[in-house]
Chain A
């Protein structure tokens, strides 16, 4: 039985991870903004077999509460084995191009709030010399592209941050897992036309749970995105700036 803290618990990918953990009989602590929805999810997870499910409602952009929420989760469960950070928004690129306020809000939600949480968690886990931290990032962070570089830069900063954190915490027996999904059919992407490259949140969740189990460092979901992004990263800038991506 594991004690698992899920931040952004109403995210579809996070919910499917929680269902897998619930079926295993794990103990869950869910953090989300929408009180009604997180309560529905908590009741569902109990029926699916979770040993215990607790909820905590907050807007994660309120970074002053991060320490409090971590302490609450820690004392309620008597320790934390795994943290999954899954909250985020898909930025409206066009809107962000016109407004720095919007861009900063997106950076706040997708990068700074995650970095704040990671800093607190890292210090706790480092001291305890155990635990696994998993962050859902995105392939979009691998190289900035005209179509979504604001979201991409937030995710790039999460990627760099977790990479460094992984090195720092390795000697303390703490694993840091970075998940880089491609196109996932979730409420966040409901306005997109779906094609052959799209996967269901359950597929991503299975990979995440497995990556946490075996403490992988970085996982592309599905795996072919590693190849795609490696190719995109290799395109020379002289060419890259002219193509539409």
Chain B
């Protein structure tokens, strides 16, 4: 037995865990049958404690392609395969992921458990909405299939279910056809949050849209943003150029990211961007810009950081966003990595994050003050009818979770029905008061 210190991508909190590394589906089943609860873990790219537990089942060795039909674009693979490995195979054959999160260093199982969203949420919805079926190992160790037509209650609980319904063994997804691996990007500059939200509205037919947002500037220019729209190009070769990332081997001693460097970065980013600029970018550059720097999380130093992502409903969304941004700018703790996006309609998954409205994601370098800032923001978000993304969360209170994810009781009853209670749990699920 090996005890290792593990943490999510934010390097906080750190947990001592028995790390299980099964080599096959039958080994996964055997681990589940052992006494005690566990949580599945893929690349550990959840930011907080979603995949922290005393027993952690790492799926890295269960990372095989099982089937790929290059004519129909249906792909089946084991849960531990990364989206990056999938891209290497599918892009040259003219297919792309239906939904891409901000990094390709996540596993298929993780993408389903977090029900990740991407720059096309307003059109394509979440990752789970493109999953055809899932093979999942339940608390008894039995592996069953779940889909929209088979054990569908389990399907709605598993997509976005943070690994709390069982261990995903494999899944089939429907890919999106592409003619080229290039993206046509159009940049729009918006000098405040109001015009940024207006730009999203004006471009709701654009396939992809996302904005970098300055969370440090106060006053009239509060929430100034650079919006990046994207469309697949119709011709121009099918390549995915994935090189090993530049690596940051150590935590930077005195954290490189402080209020001075962040302000400088934000100013530079704003002034460098030019309005209405159109350019052709590779898939990698448009969708996974940070993948070029391995372990960028270490830039925040040893203490780690908290990533915070909330969504607020569209009604009064712009005014509410101004209130929240003012609060963030006032705290002076917001980071250089802030992203704004307009979400489309919510789906039926029980714990899925997106609801129609505006979402903001940003990093906070960790300190005691940060947790207080986040709790203050939580209260504001709750009051506005919004919620916090579980995949990024490390500090949310139980009451906040239960009042903003109203289907949590239904989620618990599905877990009970399929024998997940007492078998699958994480530090996060305990903190949020799930059995």
Contacts and interface: CB of A to CB of B under 8 A. Distances in A.
Interface in A122-152: none
Interface string A189-229: 01111101000000000000000000000000000000000
Contact of B2 (A37, A48, A192): A192
Contacts, number: 39
A80 B24 CA distance: 30
A239 interface: no
B88 A41 contact: no
B21 A187 contact: yes
B88 A37 contact: no
Interface in B78-92: 88-89
A194 B4 CA distance: 8
Interface in A149-197: 187, 190-194, 196
A44 B1 CA distance: 30
B23 A48 contact: no
Nearest to A44: B64
A235 interface: no
A97 interface: no
A1 interface: no
A48 B249 CA distance: 30
Given A12-B61, A187-B23, A193-B2, A43 B66 contact: yes
Given A23-B88, A48-B89, A194-B4, A37 B24 contact: yes
Interface in B9-32: 19, 21, 23-24, 26
A36 interface: yes
Nearest to B63: A44
A191 B4 CA distance: 10
A47 B65 contact: yes
Interface string B50-85: 000000000001001111100000000000000000
A187 B61 contact: yes
A49 B2 contact: no
A40 B4 contact: no
B64 A41 contact: yes
Nearest to B67: A47
Contact of A47 (B61, B68, B249): B68
Contacts of B64: 40-41, 43-44
Nearest to A40: B64
Interface in A31-87: 36-37, 40-41, 43-44, 47-49
Contact of A36 (B2, B19, B24, B89): B24
B147 to A, nearest CB: 22
Contact of B65 (A36, A48, A191, A194): A48
A47 B78 CA distance: 13
A40 B66 CA distance: 7
Contacts of A43: 64-67
Nearest to A191: B2
A23 B61 CA distance: 19
A196 B249 CA distance: 9
Contacts of B24: 36-37, 40
Contacts of B23: 10, 37, 187
Contacts of B2: 190-193
B4 A193 contact: yes
Contacts of A44: 64-66
Contacts of A48: 65, 88-89
Contacts of B68: 47
Contacts of B26: 36
Contacts of B1: 191
A204 B41 CA distance: 24
From A23, A41, A47, residue with most partner B Cβ within 10 Å: A47
B111 to A, nearest CB: 19
Contacts of A190: 2, 19, 21
A27 to B, nearest CB: 18
A47 B24 CA distance: 19
A80 to B, nearest CB: 25
A47 B2 CA distance: 34
A12 B80 CA distance: 14
B162 to A, nearest CB: 25
Contacts of A37: 23-24
Nearest to B2: A191
A243 B359 CA distance: 59
A157 B151 CA distance: 57
From A10, A40, A43, A194, residue with most partner B Cβ within 10 Å: A40
From B21, B65, B67, residue with most partner A Cβ within 10 Å: B65
B105 to A, nearest CB: 13
Contacts of A41: 64
Interface in B213-259: 249
Interface of A: 10, 12, 23, 36-37, 40-41, 43-44, 47-49, 187, 190-194, 196
Interface of B: 1-2, 4, 19, 21, 23-24, 26, 61, 64-68, 88-89, 249
18 contacts: A12-B61, A23-B88, A36-B24, A37-B23, A44-B64, A44-B66, A47-B65, A47-B68, A48-B88, A48-B89, A187-B21, A187-B23, A190-B19, A191-B1, A191-B2, A192-B2, A193-B4, A196-B249
The 8 closest A-B pairs by CB, nearest first: A44-B64, A47-B65, A44-B65, A47-B68, A40-B64, A191-B2, A190-B21, A187-B23
Given A43-B65, A48-B88, A193-B2, 12 more contacts: A12-B61, A36-B24, A37-B24, A43-B66, A44-B64, A47-B65, A48-B65, A187-B21, A187-B61, A190-B2, A190-B21, A191-B1
